[in-house]
Amino acid sequence: MPPQADTAAAPGRHPQASPTRPARSRARKRSRRAAADRRFGLYLALPALVVVLGLIAWPAIQTLVYSLQRVALNGDTRWVGFRNFELLFRNPDFIHSLWLTAVYAIAFLVVSTALGLAFALLLNERFRGRFLARTLLIVPWACPWVIAGIIWKWFADGDVGALNGALYQLGVIDEYKSWLSSDTGALIISVLAAAWRQASFAALLFLAGLQTIPHELPEAAKVDGATAWQRFRLITLPWLKPVIVVVIVINVIFGFMQFDVIWALTQGGPGDATQVLSIFLYQQLFVYTNVGMGSAVAVVLGVVALLIGLLFVKLLYRSGDVTEGVS
C-alpha cells in the first residue's frame, strides 16, 4: 500500500497556500478603496467639469455648427456645408492673414521663450538686489494685454516715444521715425510688445524649473572642467525640458490667438501689415457681420494652434529624457 502524502507541514517550513485567501482579501479591499477614491475625485471635479464644458465645449460646438451655415441676422439661416471654408481658402486676404499669423507666431515664440530663459538664468544667479529683480519680473505679466499694447504704442510713438529718444541718443538713428506707420516696423513692434509681456511669465516658469536642479550637478561638472556652455547644454536644458514644452505650447497658443496687443497698437494696419487671423476674424464677425465666414476662420485658427501645439509636445517631450540627460 503506497504511503499517504503527509499533509502536515514539516517543522520549519512555511506553507504557501495559507496566506492566499488573506492576500486576495487585502487586494480586493485595496481595489475597492481605489475605486472609491476615483469616484470621490470625479464627484469633486464634476462641478468644474460642467463649468468648463459650458464655457468652452458648447461655444466650440456652436462655432463649428455656424461654420457650416450661412447665418443671417434676420434669422434666415441655412446649411451650406463646407462652402464657407471653400470661399475662405480662395480669399487672398485670408491667405495673407494666415501667412502673417504664422510669421507672427514664430517670431513671438522665439523672442518670448528666449527672453524668458535669459531672464530666468540671470535671476537664478546670486547678486545683490536679486529679490527686488524677481519681484519686478512679475510686473509685465500682471499687465493686461491691452495695457501692454497701449504702453508700447506710447513707447514707439514717432514724435514723443522713448524708443526714438533712446535710439537717437545712442546714434542708431539720425531722426525720429514713425515705427507704427511702416509695414515692417509695425509688425516688429507688435511682436516685441506681446513678447515683452509673455517673457516675464515664461521666465517665472523657467526660474521655478531652475530651482529644482540639484546644486551638486553643475558643481560636479564644473570641477570636472565643463565650461558654462557645456553645463547649460548637458545639464540645464535636459532638466528644463518639461518646462520648455509647457512654455512653448503656451507661447504657440498665445502667438496664434493674439489680438489685444495688435488691436491696441495698429488695429491691423497700416493697411493689412498686421492683419493676423484674429483681426481678420474680428472684421468678418463684427464689421461685415458674416457669422458663417467668421466662424470658419475661428475653426481654422483653433485647429492650426492645436495641431502645432501637439506637434511641439510630440517632438520635445519624451519619457525618460530628463533622467537620461542628467544622469
Please answer whether residues 158 and 179 qualify as being in contact, where contact means their C-beta atoms are separated by less than 8 angstroms: yes
End-to-end CA distance of the chain: 67
Contact at 8 Å (CB) between 105 and 309?
no
Q: Is the pTM of this model over 0.75?
A: yes
User: Hunting for cell 480586493 — which residue is that?
Assistant: 28
The cell for 136 is 519686478
* C-alpha span between 99 and 93 (Å, rounded): 10
Residue positions counted in the chain: 327
**What's the confidence (pLDDT) of residue 75?**
67
User: pLDDT (tens digit, 9 = 90+) per residue, 271-309?
Assistant: 889 999 999 999 998 888 888 999 999 999 888 888 887
Chain-centroid distance of CA 90 in Å reads 30
Q: How confident is the model at residue 318, as a pLDDT?
A: 58
Domain map (residue ranges) of the chain: 20-67, 78-326
Residue 242 vs residues 24, 96, 255, 287: alpha-carbon distances, Å: 39, 34, 20, 42
The percent of residues in the chain predicted with pLDDT above 70, rounded, is: 90
Nearest CA to 258 among 84, 66, 58, 100? Answer: 100
- Average pLDDT estimate for 104-126: 93
User: Mean pLDDT across the stretch 141-170?
Assistant: 90
Residue 268 has pLDDT above 70, yes or no: yes
pLDDT in tens, 203-240: 999 999 999 988 888 888 888 888 888 888 888 888 89
- pLDDT grade, residue 194 (50/70/90)? very high
More confidently predicted of 320 and 133: 133
Mean pLDDT of 235-257: 89
Rounded mean pLDDT of the chain? 84
325 falls in which pLDDT band (50, 70, 90)?
very low
Q: How confident is the model at residue 259 (pLDDT cuts 50, 70, 90)?
A: very high
CATH architecture of 78-326: Orthogonal Bundle (1.10)
Residue 222 has a pLDDT of 83
Q: What percent of the chain has pLDDT over 90?
A: 35
Q: Which of 3-7, 28-32, 48-52, 60-64 has the lowest mean pLDDT?
A: 3-7
Q: Tell me the C-alpha to C-alpha distance, in Å, between residue 106 and each of 87, 109, 115, 191, 301.
A: 27, 5, 14, 10, 15
Residues 68, 86 contacting (CB under 8 angstroms)? no
User: Which of 197, 181, 212 shows the shortest CA–CA distance to 274?
Assistant: 181
